[in-house]
Amino acid sequence: MAGLLMATLLSFSQLFARQDFFGPAALGVALATGIAMGARRRGLGPLPTVGVSSAAAVWYLVIVFRAADTFYGLPTFDALAGLGGALGRAFAQSQFDVAPIPGRPGYVIMVTVGMWAAATLGELATFRWRQPILASLPCIALFSEALVIGTRAVAPFWVALFLVALLAYWGLESSHGLRAWGRWVSAWPGHDDEGPSTVTASIARRMGASTVAVALIAPVFFPLFGGELLTWRTGAGAGGAGAGQGTPTGLVDPFVSVRPRITDQTDVPMFTVRAESPSYWRLVTLENFDGTTWNPQAFNGFDLPSGGFDAFERLPFGPEARTLTQTFSISGLDGGYLPAAVQAVDMPTGSPVYNSTRIDPSSGYLRTTSEVAEGLIYSVTSNLPDVGYRQLRRVTTFGHPDDTLTELPEPLAPAVGDLLQRWTEGAPTPFDELLAIQERLRGFTYTLEVEPRASQDYLAEFLTTTRAGYCQQFATAFAVLARALGFPARVSVGFLPGRPTPEAENVFEVRGTDAHAWPEVFFGRYGWIAFEPTPRADFGAEPPPYSEPPSPTVASGLGPGGRAAPGGLVRPNNTFEFTGNPALGNVPAGPVPAPRAPGSTFQWERTFARISVVTLVLTLAFLVIVPATKAVRGRLRYGRAAGPVALAAAAFAEFQAEAGELASPRGASESAAAYVRRIAARRRVPLAGATRLARIYEAAEYARAGVGQGDADEARALAGELRRKLWATASWWDRLVRLFSVRGVG
């Protein structure tokens, strides 16, 4: 059962970004198991056991996650309310987070509670009710949850590990159940004896076949909450790009791959936006690249009423930024992402999605728990970079706090490395290197008619052979090449500016065909600067205005040819005054909490670190003190023995202590002679030596004359010899019990 619990807990590694969740949950499993075992030995029934275990679980969670709210270590109402608040925030945040997720307190509490319950029910069902299937159900449920919502990067490994642990538990429990029936006998005389191993093997085969069948069928019934939730510019529903049937949807896949897929663009209107100048409308940013696909980092959202816009550094900022106010009217867009020009910095408190919207402090995109559907109208204010060609050419520092933004899973293929060197050779500044990559990629062919094919390195094939694709390939190629040069780079997913509507001024209609992906590079104090390597000029995907020296013929905020550009300059605009409305209840009641810096830890992690140190010290003390105490007690027996009678009694007491934990304890009414014969019958000690020790002991205890010094010395020597024999024949588990069990300490 312990192996099954550990396999279940380890499977949550595919859900969390770090392994900090493991400590609290593992310690919780140990405590829950210990409490259930102690209750069973004390004779408590199942219901009292569950009650005691539940109370202990609450106390443990309070100590780990709300230690500051306890009263001398005891839970308080504030502590319990804090646990409830952490769970509530986790449930709300779960609508945003994508695996791998951070170790938010609520998430770790959920895992700890689930594992605690699994350990408690597992002990009850295994050792009291003898129901192994029932005992394994919580573990199966928890593992399925981790498998469904996890990253599934190494899912086959976790499935194999869990199945091995599960089948091993079932097999051992079945064998134990068969042995509990007694000695195996044949069904009737004259027939071949079908041994227990055959029956056990049959049971194991049936269980194995059933488990494999469940593993194969489960994906049909469990929805995969991963990359296929949202489709890339498709009108075929959420079943994958171009797959299935259904009415056109407004879901946009936030996963960008260098590999081409069948693409079916939909011309369904997504939304209209009123703004003084066009811009790219971003939905999400993708920072993680696994070699073929860009994925978003774990969404660490801050809600707006609590100061979400203050939780990140507003870049671009100050004189290098222009303000753009936008009002979006949603028509066909679905999902939990809110489009906005880069970078959103404000939203009116009266907006219908204000209270349900969160912003990520590192990536800056917006997500909401409200329904994004037809009829939704909201406004948002953004800061756009107000920089030019000359300013960007002077930038020499591109550092970003997150070093992973410059990392690639593996070095570039030699052909791609040579190509990059040729493209950037002679570029006088870092910015010119990026412009050279953009210009070269814009010389490729834009097409949706790219045949999907299997390739070990499609990026090399795209750059050196096919030289044709759509925005996913172009954005990926640019970002990868930029990272190869040491630039912090990422990919953004959203929409092109759309088309002006003839009915109203400064209103742009955005359709599904405008869905787009583009790369961004971090330029120090100027923030994230967008580039446009996709040669899709028919829909406004022109190079940004800062790609060329200033020209008096190019209007402010527009690229060459009058087209809008990502992060292009916009005309000055008045910003919304960001104040709370008491009538709406969205004014922060106190000071806005400071944002959690990237890489920093949660409060519960620091608390559990202290608990871990205390637990480690206590464990080491236990491992040293218990064996040392037993050794000292043995020496004291002989040291306190005054005379041959006491020495003989001490010798037999030593044998009884060793045999009691290495073989079997002595019965309350069992004589010394009967006890040594029983131990010898197990072939653990020589019968002659054990019987001689018992006779000397009984003579010392009951004979009027007692024993002489020679017999006492012989008894001590026999006790030492029998002790060595017991240790030589004992299993490793019996040896551990003898060393660390507290039974022989008192």
Position 616 scores a pLDDT of: 83
pLDDT score of 116 = 94
Mean pLDDT of 471-481: 92
Average pLDDT rounded to a whole number, residues 657-667: 87
pLDDT in tens, 212-232: 555 544 544 444 333 333 333
pLDDT at site 449: 76
The CATH code belonging to domain 226-575 is 3.10.620.30
pLDDT grade, residue 53 (50/70/90)?
A: very high
Q: Mean of the per-residue pLDDT values for the chain?
A: 78
Band the pLDDT of 32: cuts 50, 70, 90.
very high
3-state SS, residue 536: strand
Residue 487, judged by CB atoms within 10 A of its CB (0-12, 13-18, 19+), counts as buried
Choose the most confident range, by mean pLDDT, from 149-153, 159-163, 369-373, 734-738: 159-163
Contact 153, 409 (CB under 8 A): no
- Cα angle vertex 285, ends 279, 287, to 5°? 140
Q: Is the pLDDT of residue 706 over 90?
A: no
pLDDT band at 574 (very low <50, low <70, confident <90, very high): very low
How does pLDDT run across 492-513, given as a tens digit for each residue? 999 999 999 988 889 999 998 8
Section 335-351 average pLDDT: 88
Q: Is the pLDDT at 379 greater than 90, yes or no?
A: yes
**Which residue would you say has higher pLDDT here, 317 or 66?**
66
**Main-chain phi, psi angles of 262, to 5 degrees:** -65, 125
**In this structure, are residues 578 and 305 in contact, taking their beta carbons and an 8 Å threshold?**
no
Residues of each domain in the chain carrying CATH 3.10.620.30: 226-575
Mind spelling out the 3-state secondary structure of 23-49? HHHHHHHHHHHHHHHHHHHCCCCHHHH
Contacts of 396 (CB under 8 A, 6+ apart): 429, 430
Report the pLDDT averaged over residues 402-426.
90
pLDDT tier, 557 (very low <50, low <70, confident <90, very high otherwise): very low
Q: Residue 650: pLDDT above 80?
A: yes
Report the pLDDT value the prediction gives residue 453, as an integer from 0 to 100.
54
Q: Choose between 381 and 193: higher pLDDT.
A: 381
18: closest CA among 647, 598, 483, 539? 598
Q: Which residue has the higher pLDDT, 493 or 192?
A: 493
**Residues contacting residue 196 through CB under 8 Å, at least 6 positions apart:** 175, 178, 179, 184
With a cut of 50, say whether residue 555 has pLDDT above it.
Answer: no
Range from 115-124, 251-260, 532-541, 640-649 carrying the lowest mean pLDDT: 251-260
Give residue-wise pLDDT tens across range 85-127: 889 878 776 766 667 777 788 889 999 999 999 999 999 998 8
Task: Provide the pLDDT confidence category of residue 210 given band limits of 50, 70 and 90.
Answer: low
- At 480, the pLDDT band (50, 70, 90 cuts) reads very high
The pLDDT of 20-39, averaged and rounded, is 91
Over residues 50-78, mean pLDDT: 91
Detail the DSSP E strand segments found in 435-506. Answer: 445-446, 468-469, 489-495, 499-500
Structure tokens at 368: 């909401």
Q: Among 153-162, 364-373, 450-459, 466-475, which range has the highest average pLDDT?
A: 466-475
Residue 403 — pLDDT band, cuts 50, 70, 90? confident
- Print burial letters for 172-189: b (CB count within 10 Å at least 16), e (below 16): ebbbeeeeeeeeeeeeee
**318, pLDDT greater than 50:** no
- Cα distance between residue 324 and residue 384, in whole Å: 7
Mean of pLDDT values over 430-436: 94
| pLDDT above 70: residue 608 | yes
The length of the chain, given as a count of residues: 746
Q: Determine whether 503 is exposed, middle or buried from the number of CB atoms within 10 Å of its CB (0-12, 13-18, 19+).
A: exposed
Q: What is the mean pLDDT of residues 638-665?
A: 88
The answer, yes or no, to whether residue 312 has pLDDT greater than 70, is: no
The pLDDT score that the predictor gives to residue 580 is 34
Q: Express each pLDDT in 261-289 by its tens digit.
A: 545 567 789 999 999 989 999 999 999 88
Q: What's the pLDDT score for residue 425?
A: 93
What would the mean pLDDT of 670-678 be, rounded to a whole number?
91
In this structure, of 328-342, 539-553, 609-623, 701-715, the range with the lowest mean pLDDT score is: 539-553
Q: Kindly report whether the global pTM for this prediction surpasses the value 0.75.
A: no
What is the model's pLDDT at position 481?
96
Report, as an integer, the average pLDDT of 60-70.
Answer: 89
